[in-house]
Every structure is written in C-alpha cells, then in structure tokens.
Chain A
C-alpha cells in the first residue's frame, strides 16, 4: 500500500468514536504496575514486565526452553554435496515431489517464524511463556535458513523455487487456511490495543471488541497452529524420509530429522497451552470457550486432513515414488490426525487404527541425530550439566 493511502487509513482509524480512556488497553513493553506475576493467566492478563524465571506459574515452559536450546543446530553443519548428484538423477516427477514439498515447508516455516511473535507476544502474560514463544519462533527461523541451504545446494536457480511459492495455486490455496486464524487474532488485538473493549466505528465500519471474542480467536489460532505443526509438517516429512529410505537425498533427510525433532517439541508446547486452557484452572473463561468451540476446533483438524490429502494428489499427479503413493500418504494423514486429536482430548475423526508408514518412527526418532560425520549429537546434551561439587576428601587417595 502506498504511504499516502496508509496515512489516510490511520487518520480514519483515529477518528473512531467512543474511546473511553479507562477502557483502552495499550500495550506496554515494560509494565510498571506491581502485581504477582505468578497469579496471571497465560494470556490476556497484565503485560509482562520483568523477564524473570526464578518463580514460574508453569515450569513446563521453562523446560521446553531449555530443551529447545539444547537442540540448537545450524543448517551448514549438514553436508549436501551428494544430494546435488542425487537430485539431478531423480526422474522429473520425483523432482516435482521433492521441490513441491520443500516449497510447502518454506511457506509453513515463514509463517511460523514470525506469527507466534506477532500474534501471541502482545497478549501473553507470563514471562516463561513469553520466552518460550520467542525461543520457539527463533528455532523456526533456523528451519527457514536450512531450506535456503538445501535449495542453494541442489538447484542452480534458487530464485525460481522461491518465487513460485507465492504464485503456485496448490500452495497459496492452503496458505489462506494456515494464516487466517493468526491474521484474525492480530487484527482483533490491534483494534483492542487502540480502542479497548466496546462498540466502535472504525473506517465507517461498526466493530465490536470484547476480550471474550479475542480469547475465542486465540483458542482457534492455537488449534490451527497445532494442526500446522502436528499434521501438515508430517506430510512433507513422510516424503523426505521416503526418499532417504531408498538412500537418496540423505543430507536433506538429516536436516528434516532435525526439524522434526524441533517440531515435536513445539507441538508439545501448543498441546500444553490448549490443555491448560481446557482445564480452566488458568483462566475459567477459557475453559468455557474451549467447550463452546470444540466442534469448530475438531473441524479445523478434519479440514486440514482433507487439504493435506488434496496436496498428496498434487504431489503425485505425474506419478508415485517407490514406497509412497497418494493412497498411502492419505492414510498416513488420517492416522496422524487421529493421534493428534487424541492427544488434546478430542474424539479421533477417522477409522484408521494402524500406522501405514511404520518406518517413519525410526526416522523421526531423535535419540541420535547425527549432524557432521565426526560427531553424533546426543539431543539431551546440556552445557554445564556436570557435577562441580568437589570436597577435599575426594582427593584423599592422592599423595604428594
């Protein structure tokens, strides 16, 4: 949008009527109010002031942060020189499968690298949760960087791949569903910060702003994030690992393995938030909302599963790959959707009971994620975790 138009809109917005001062809730980067941080709810309480972790309402977020930090990795550590040779040797329809998946993942991580920050930080109220959101989004930026690393290594014109993401209809079709809950929440929260609760006229449109409604938007956003991380990503993972099962594109599979490890942690974070909301101990109103929106939330899972099956159609439009075809991938989508629904206490939506891709588990297992050939990184490794308590009697066996 040109600058002059934008300032027009701002002016219009500023002419909004009925702004009782006591109702506006402007965001502040350092809340000067004195309050007991441990009594705040996860979202829509006080703005966070001191980033302190000595006392925590939900220590699990601190554990997630530590785990995520111990997972730190850099894409450049993974050597992709053989992948280039492998890629050139792939038949055309498999190149299509590989690149399409990569494009889709680029879209997903572009969204996830910024949206938790933009959408959730303005409304978060607990320091440990705020830091978890930042840590989580940061790790997604590493994933984005790793896609550039992969593309640079396997194709001669990286720009062609990136440019296609915003014009490719099969991808943009799904981008809308992935981002709309985020966008809705962001729009609602920014109006709330400007005008506060109540009925307002903004740009000659009547808008009703209420915290309850924003909480509904937040709940649906978290459900759709959970779907993104727990279902949508796994379709691409399945294809990457299917290539590696045939000993091709193995460098790529190593990177995907590292990404999958991070995503498993992220989805645990989102599941915790959703479960804490549903329990109602954090914010009783959230529990009412979770019950109220259960059908809609279920539908988000089911719609995403259908979209992912459509995506499988697009992937395999010119032919299947060894070990994976449209039907099997579709069954896997249903299977994993059931699992994720079960994890947040929803009734599974599909009849499938058994994993159609049993080999996925060993690829997803992060016990020994090998990065460089000379080092096997144990994922539970933490710096400074040695016993430094040394008593003088520990030296009793020594004599000079």
Chain B
C-alpha cells in the first residue's frame, strides 16, 4: 500500500514503493544531505514527527530517538518528517 510522506513546512507526496526515504525525497528535488548512503555516516538524518519506518539495511550510525536515517529506510506507514535546516527545493 502506498504511504504518504509529509514534509513539515514543505509538501506531501506519495513515494514509489521501492525507494528509500532519501531517494524518494531526492526524486522530489528536495535538497538532502548525504555522504555514505549506507547507514554509517548519519548525514541524512531527519526528525520523524509521526509514523513508522523499516530499515532495509541495519544502520551502524547512532540514531537518536525521534530521528531516522533516510538512506536506508522505507516508510511503513504515512510519515511526517522534519528536515533539519528546512525543506529546500533544488533549483533547476
């Protein structure tokens, strides 16, 4: 079932099911921080305001409560997330 991702102070969208949250956000042209893209650098962390995610690979980085590592998780329900520094759209 498709889930909705809502970005606080941003917009909502329905991601393609096979994408990680990071890939889904990038596909929407949201400016995202990343480095390793495999769960150990914690650059792509965002606040999870509401919802559940499943990790596709188990992350090594320390994930504080209330945060998710977007590079290695997929939505398990509708999500409300908050991007540190705000939601910025990439200029074409």
Contacts and interface: CB of A to CB of B under 8 A. Distances in A.
A134 B23 CA distance: 35
Contacts of B40: 64, 67, 264-265, 268
B70 interface: no
Contacts, number: 67
Contacts of A343: 42, 45, 62, 64
A379 B60 CA distance: 14
B36 A365 contact: yes
A354 B42 contact: no
Contact of A358 (B31, B37, B86): B31
B84 A361 contact: no
Contacts of A268: 40-42, 60-62
B85 A353 contact: yes
B38 interface: yes
B33 interface: yes
A397 B19 CA distance: 36
A366 interface: yes
Please report whether the interface of chain B is mostly helix, strand, loop or mixed according to DSSP.
Answer: loop
A345 B60 contact: no
A271 B35 CA distance: 16
A172 interface: no
Contacts of A355: 31, 33
B43 interface: yes
B34 interface: yes
B60 A367 contact: no
Interface string B37-56: 11011110100000000000
Contacts of B88: 354
Interface bracket on B: 20 to 34
A267 B64 CA distance: 15
Interface bracket on A: 20 to 34
A339 interface: yes
A261 B85 contact: no
B33 A365 contact: no
A380 B34 CA distance: 17
Contacts of A204: none
A345 B61 CA distance: 14
A275 B85 CA distance: 22
Contacts of A366: 35-38
A354 B37 CA distance: 20
A364 B35 contact: yes
Interface in A341-358: 342-343, 345, 353-355, 358
A365 B88 CA distance: 20
Contacts of B45: 342-343
Contact of B60 (A64, A261, A353, A364): A64
A161 interface: no
Contacts of A345: 64
A264 B64 contact: no
Given A264-B40, A268-B61, A275-B62, A353 B86 contact: yes
B62 A272 contact: yes
Nearest to B37: A367
15 contacts: A64-B40, A67-B40, A264-B43, A267-B41, A271-B61, A271-B62, A275-B64, A343-B42, A343-B62, A353-B86, A354-B31, A361-B33, A367-B36, A367-B37, A367-B38
Interface of B: 31, 33-38, 40-43, 45, 60-62, 64, 84-86, 88
Given A271-B62, A339-B33, 17 more contacts: A60-B60, A63-B60, A264-B43, A265-B60, A268-B62, A271-B42, A343-B45, A343-B62, A343-B64, A345-B64, A361-B34, A361-B35, A361-B43, A366-B37, A367-B37, A379-B36, A379-B38
